[in-house]
Amino acid sequence: MNAVVPTVTFADIEAAAVRIAGQAIETPLIESPALNERVGLRVLIKAETLQRVGAFKFRGAYNRLVQLSDEERARGVVAFSSGNHAQGVALAAKLLGIPAVIVMPDDAPGVKVEATKGYGADVRFYNRLAGKTREAIAAEIAAEREAVVVPAFDDPHIVAGQGTVGLEMVRQAQAIGAKLDVVAAPISGGGLLAGIATAAKALSPETAVVGVEPAAFDDTLQSLRKGERVTIKPQGRSYCDALESPFPGEITFPIMHRMVADVATVTDAEVAEAMRVAFSTLKLVVEPGGAAALAALLAGKVQMFGGHTVGIVLSGGNVDPEFFANVLRGKA
Amino acid sequence: MNAVVPTVTFADIEAAAVRIAGQAIETPLIESPALNERVGLRVLIKAETLQRVGAFKFRGAYNRLVQLSDEERARGVVAFSSGNHAQGVALAAKLLGIPAVIVMPDDAPGVKVEATKGYGADVRFYNRLAGKTREAIAAEIAAEREAVVVPAFDDPHIVAGQGTVGLEMVRQAQAIGAKLDVVAAPISGGGLLAGIATAAKALSPETAVVGVEPAAFDDTLQSLRKGERVTIKPQGRSYCDALESPFPGEITFPIMHRMVADVATVTDAEVAEAMRVAFSTLKLVVEPGGAAALAALLAGKVQMFGGHTVGIVLSGGNVDPEFFANVLRGKA
């Protein structure tokens, strides 16, 4: 018999919202008439780019770390991440006085590495292609120190923390008299989307939840089609460094399977165009992975199920200036 | 005896707020713990970059145009502007069904020209250095068509509209339990600052109002020192294309004279650095002129009068991608 996979309830998300209040930012839900006109829909933008550490990841990390016992806090935490979860854990650890070791790929964006170090974390690098996996390195460090490993997505407290994005979106939309027919958010391991789906389905059962992933990392789409978790063999990189998980999570997949209405995939070119539109029309700095849902919307790939109001999560804004400059100049 | 110069009251600003409600966006007041830490103050960012047309100018333009009579609307409006006022008037005119002719310098940023045309305005160019002044061209067109000239700043309805920025800032700060010790905003002709000062002094008399202008266009500073309006002879351009007025307004100057506590000046290098900080720390796209107050803050030039909470207006985000890319790469 398999071990029971924990799930996440709406009550968990409400509890997470209380825990992170005053620490995480209630990011604004932004509307741009110019964007509405361009896509012929009402678009409500959840700007998690304006969250602490520049991405939604702080929510889940803080919700996880604040629940550690004093003894666990003293031993510290270990996480592995290409960047945004790294920063989320590093900042949450700093705020709570917990030592943190973060294992990052040696080709992670410089801004993400620098920020993680800036929050005081002990950063260790690994090579994506050679030697031990990051999971193995993190497990080793954790064993040495008896430290707690903080997963990027496959943890109910992490999912519940990310779910507060959905909680806020639905309530902020209601506050301006809008009803979200569809909510679209990027998928890596599925923590954000599973959390948003759980919140949205509880507060607004008619809202359709749509995930977006890079075409080259369509593991969730494949998994949902097959009805079980699929691990893909990536054929290269994506602009979306934050969305390169090759499989959905053990906890996140069943939630997405129950609650996600559709998954769209986007190309690097569509992502770059979305970053340019966010720059010129929204005046927001968005990283590639953070722009995936907007990219799908602009490419006409977000299924609207007959509705006309869509919530789009811009999930992060941590992007190297040189790469961003290339995107603006049409060279990426 | 001189003609009486009209002034602007807080009641005018409250009335403007009612007129623009549902048309202008109530832009968010954003707080970044990372920026707070960097400057050692509590900083509340008024992101007018997220306003319609990407700048606060829509507020004043709409407040002016919506008060035109049916007859005036039919004859149309004329405005001259390097870009943001142009866009504000063009969009307000489009929304109200008013024909608009906009006179722009032929070296205005491409994004501003394109957007102004995009809102349906008839754009006419002039050369800054040769031939007729923009005032003369606009006056000619206005005379031909019996059209109403919509000034960029020297008009009580324009000032009242821009003042709604200050109204919102003070109320949004109060809503989160903060008291603004200082508010800093950029100065071109002074419409924004005079409006903000009028609102702030009415709602929060202890708040000190600080203006920021480019070092090469310090006409307001010189005017305040002298106690009368000074017209400067610019020795070149500034990165801040939106802040190149060589004199403060006839209406705006007396208001600033009464209410503004200090004026700081910033260099192009300080402005570029502020744009980079807005990109990396705030994840906001800010144009040079829009970043002037943040530049002064980062350079330690905003006098705090013993306080520790400062409101910073990011007044616009309309910037050519190529120039922005150069700023990011340290080449501007």
The architecture (CATH level 2) of A58-149 comes to 3-Layer(aba) Sandwich (3.40)
Q: Model confidence at A2, in pLDDT bands (50, 70, 90)? A: low
- Report the residue from B34, B54, B279 with minimal CB separation from A285: B279
Q: Which residues of A59-75 are buried (b: 16+ CB within 10 A; e: fewer)?
A: bbbbbbbbebeeeebeb
The distance of A59 to chain B (nearest Cα, Å) reads 15
A245 touches chain B (CB under 8 A): no
Q: What is the DSSP letter of B147?
A: P
Band of residue B16 on the pLDDT scale cut at 50, 70, 90: very high
CA–CA distance, A300 with B26 (Å, rounded to integer): 29
Domain boundaries, chain A: 10-55+155-328, 58-149
**Residue A4 confidence (pLDDT) above 90:** no
Could you give the CA distance from residue B158 to residue B57 in angstroms, rounded to a whole number?
A: 9
**CA distance to A267, A292, A316, B237, per residue, from A239 (Å):** 9, 10, 13, 37
Residue B316 to residue B96: CA distance in whole angstroms: 23
Name the CATH code of domain B10-55+155-328 (choices 3.20.20.70, 3.40.50.1100, 3.30.413.10, 2.30.30.100). 3.40.50.1100
Contact (CB, 8 A) for A54 and A81:
no
Q: From the candidates A57, A112, A201, A301, which is the catalytic residue?
A: A57
Query: Of B82, B188, B204, B315, which one is the catalytic site residue?
Result: B315
Mutation target to probe the B interface, by most B beta carbons within 10 A, among A30, A112, A283 is A283
- Give the residue on A whose Cα is nearest the Cα of B285: A283
- Set B57, B112, B201, B301: catalytic member: B57
Q: How confident is the prediction for chain B on average, in pLDDT?
A: 95
Kindly report, residue by residue over A102-151, the tens digit of the pLDDT.
Answer: 999 999 889 899 999 999 999 999 988 877 888 889 889 999 999 999 99
Q: Which ranges in A43-180 belong to alpha helices (H)?
A: 57-65, 70-75, 84-96, 110-118, 134-145, 156-175
The C-alpha atoms of residue A83 and residue A102 are separated, in whole angstroms, by 9
The verdict on a CB contact (< 8 Å) between B283 and A285 is yes
Name the residue among B34, B280, B322 with its Cβ closest to that of A329.
Answer: B322
Query: Are A30 and B30 a contacting pair at CB < 8 A?
Result: no
The enclosing H or E element of A123 equals: strand A122-126
The alpha carbon of residue A53 is apart from the nearest alpha carbon of chain B, in Å, by: 8
- Interval B26-64: pLDDT, tens: 999 999 999 999 999 999 999 999 999 999 999 999 999
ipTM of the complex: 0.95
pLDDT in tens, A246-287: 999 999 999 999 999 999 999 999 999 999 999 999 999 999
A230: left (phi over 0), alpha (psi -120 to 50) or beta: beta
Chain B nearest-CA residue for A276: B321
B33 contacts A52? CB cut-off 8 A:
yes
Identify the bridge partners of residue B122 per DSSP, sorted by sequence position: B101
| Burial class, B326, CB count within 10 angstroms (exposed 0-12 / middle 13-18 / buried 19+) | middle
Condensed to tens digits (0 to 9), the pLDDT of residues B209-257 reads 999 999 999 999 999 999 999 999 988 899 999 999 999 999 999 999 9
pLDDT score, position B83: 86
The answer to whether A266 and A20 have CB atoms below 8 angstroms apart is no
Is residue A50 less than 8 Å (CB to CB) from chain B? yes
How confident is the prediction for chain A on average, in pLDDT? 95
> Quick one: average pLDDT of B178-207?
98
B82 is catalytic: no
Q: Residue B130: what pLDDT?
A: 79
pLDDT at position A134 is 82
What is the Cα–Cα distance from A268 to A237, expressed in whole angstroms? 10
**DSSP letters for B73-119:** HHH-EEEE-SSHHHHHHHHHHHHHT--EEEEEETTS-HHHHHHHHHT
Whether B172 shows a pLDDT value over 70: the answer reads yes
Q: Tell me: pLDDT of A195 over 80.
A: yes
Distance between CA atoms of residues A211 and A203, nearest Å:
18
Element (H, E) at B311: strand B309-314
Cα separation, A79 vs B164, whole angstroms? 46
Give catalytic status of residue A46 as yes or no: no
User: Does A170 or B136 have the greater pLDDT score?
Assistant: A170
Question: Residue A203: is its pLDDT beyond 50?
Answer: yes
Most A CBs within 10 Å, among B87, B111, B280, B331, to test the A interface:
B280
The greatest distance separating any two alpha carbons of chain A, rounded to the nearest whole angstrom, comes to 56
Interface of B with A in 189-218 (CB under 8 A): none
pLDDT band per the 50, 70, 90 thresholds, residue B2: low
As a whole-number percent, the residues of chain A with pLDDT over 70 amount to: 99
The model's pTM is 0.96
> Residue B129's pLDDT is what?
80
Residues B283, A54: C-beta atoms closer than 8 Å: yes
Q: How far apart are CA B213 and CA B222, in angstroms?
A: 11
Residue B161: phi and psi, rounded to 5, are -60, -45
* Residue A132 CB neighbour total at 10 angstroms: 13
DSSP state letters, B218-266: -HHHHHHHHTS-------S--S-GGG--SS--TTHHHHHHHHEEEEEEE
CA distance B252 to A102: 54
Burial class, B292, CB count within 10 angstroms (exposed 0-12 / middle 13-18 / buried 19+): buried
Q: In the prediction, which pLDDT does B1 show?
A: 46
Identify the residue whose tokens are 């001259």.
B80
CA distance B326 to A316: 23
Task: Compare CB distances from B329 to A50, A54, A322 and report the shortest one's residue.
Answer: A322
* Closest approach of A2 to chain B, Cα-based (Å): 44
**For B92-144, what is each residue's pLDDT tens digit?**
999 999 999 999 999 988 989 999 999 999 999 998 887 788 888 888 999 99
Find residues 21-40 of chain A whose CB sits inside 8 Å of chain B. Answer: 25, 28, 30-34
A10-55+155-328 and A58-149 in the same fold: yes
Q: What is the pLDDT of residue B128?
A: 81
CB contact under 8 A, B284 and A279: no
| Burial profile A41-53: b = 16 or more Cβ within 10 angstroms, e = fewer | bbbbbbbbbbbbb
Residues A297 and A292: their CA atoms lie apart, in Å, by: 9
Strand order in the sheet with A122-126: A122-126, A100-105, A77-80, A148-149
Residue A276 near chain B (CB below 8 Å): yes
Closest residue in chain A to residue B38, using alpha carbons only: A118
The pLDDT of residue B324 is: 98
Burial of A226 (0-12, 13-18, 19+ CB in 10 A): exposed
